[in-house]
Amino acid sequence: MTAATTTLGYTAAMLALTALAAKADGEFYQLDLGEKTRTAVISVERERLAYGMVFSDNIGREDLTLTASYKFTLGTPVTFRVGPALQIEGPDTLKGGIRLVAEHYQPTSFGSIFLLGEATTIDRGYFALAAIGFDKPDVTVEFSYLGDDDGFRDKVAALAFGIPNTKARFRAGYKFDTEEAFVGISINTF
């Protein structure tokens, strides 16, 4: 595939997932830009079904991952999601697998705590996130750890500042293994 074909494919996937957002119970969008990396995330939820897309360009290594999952609980305050995942790695490598997510959101007297753990059979990938949100000032502190058995690893710390009268947040952070600062924006309607 050519670069133009790859870009068209990524754009089509993003538009398809965005179209699902019109009927969703909640959506999450995020775009982070650094000197060497860029990441775009879309997550759309409707009742028990969720759809997602992650595009990452990490020092010239482009990946597009599409996911669908079913949400359930097991009588605990943890929500689980399980479903298929499809990854386009570079312009011509297609990988499929299963993705499992466990997440917990807890309102607190000062704001909220959000914990998420994700594992996929694609390259034995993993992602862990802890986010502590404060109401005053409207800021969230995030720590994440991600990687796979393809040799990719990173630890990330970020601050997200609420933009008044919107659901958008300005993000700034640092990727420790990549040794890169980044800025971004996120929108969360959940």
CATH number for the domain including 178? 2.40.160.40
The helix/strand/coil state of 59 is coil
Instruction: Count how many domains the chain has.
Output: 1
pLDDT band at 51 (very low <50, low <70, confident <90, very high): very high
Q: What is the pLDDT of residue 9?
A: 52
Cα 35 to Cα 57, 58, 77, 143: the distances in Å are 11, 10, 39, 20
Report percent pLDDT > 90 for the chain: 75
Helix (H, G, I), strand (E, B) or coil at 107: strand
Q: Which of 54, 52, 29, 28 is nearest to 39 (CA)?
A: 54
Q: How would residue 3 be classed by pLDDT, with cut points 50, 70 and 90?
A: very low
What does pTM read for this prediction?
0.83
66-81 average pLDDT score: 93
- The per-residue DSSP string of 129-170 comes to EEEEEETTTTEEEEEEEEE-TTS-EEEEEEEEEEPTTSSEEE
119 has pLDDT over 50 = yes
pLDDT band at 91 (very low <50, low <70, confident <90, very high): confident
Report residue 59's pLDDT band, with 50, 70 and 90 as the boundaries: confident
Query: Which residue, among 110, 142, 146, 143, has the nearest Cα to 126 in the 3D structure?
Result: 146
Whether the predicted pLDDT of 14 surpasses 70: no
Residue 134 pLDDT:
97
d(CA 122, CA 97): 5
Strands 125-134 and 79-89, by their bridges, are unpaired
pLDDT of residue 181: 98
Omega of the bond prior to 137 within 30 degrees of 0, cis? yes
Q: Quick one: pLDDT band at residue 101, thresholds 50, 70, 90?
A: very high
**Separation between Cα atoms, residue 51 and residue 63, nearest integer Å:** 17
Contact between 58 and 36 (Cβ < 8 Å): yes
Q: What is the pLDDT of residues 138-185, one digit of tens each?
A: 999 999 999 999 888 999 999 999 999 999 999 999 999 989 999 999
Q: From CA 161, how far away is CA 153, in angstroms rounded?
A: 26
pLDDT at residue number 20:
46
**Residue range 75-99: average pLDDT?**
92
Query: Can you give the residue range of the structural domain that contains 19?
Result: 3-188
CB 27 within 8 A of CB 187: yes
